């Protein structure tokens, strides 16, 4: 039984958008939804904006720091990523 990548993307995009839309004040929803938008759905700008909001809401959330660190690597910012991995 194989995975249908196209179907996974079709499913992930609306769910990630719904998570960040409904969770505008929920740092966990923003961090995980933002990471999904960036990594799975190929929307790095939208994903980063939502992870940034998560960090603003809760600067002590490891999930958000982890997501932001990976997004920084993908954006070519390894020095910032290393700092965020250790946050």
Each residue's pLDDT expressed in tens, for the chain with a length of 87 residues: 567 878 888 889 999 999 999 999 999 999 999 999 999 999 999 999 999 999 999 999 999 999 999 999 999 999 999 988 886
Burial of 69 (0-12, 13-18, 19+ CB in 10 A): buried
> Looking up tokens 């992870």, which residue turns up?
51
Is-contact 36 13, C-beta < 8 A?
A: no
Tokens of 5: 């990548």
CATH class of 5-85: mainly alpha
Q: How many residues does the chain have?
A: 87
Q: Rounded to an integer, what distance in angstroms lies between the CA atom of residue 3 and that of residue 44?
A: 23
């Amino acid at each position: 039984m194989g995975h249908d990548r196209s179907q996974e993307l079709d499913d992930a995009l609306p769910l990630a958008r719904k998570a960040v839309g409904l969770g505008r004040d929920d740092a966990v929803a923003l961090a995980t939804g933002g990471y999904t938008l960036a990594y799975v759905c190929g929307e790095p700008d939208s994903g980063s904006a939502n992870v940034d909001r998560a960090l603003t809401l809760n600067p002590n959330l490891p999930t958000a720091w982890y997501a932001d660190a990976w997004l920084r690597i993908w954006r070519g910012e390894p020095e910032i990523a290393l700092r965020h991995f250790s946050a």
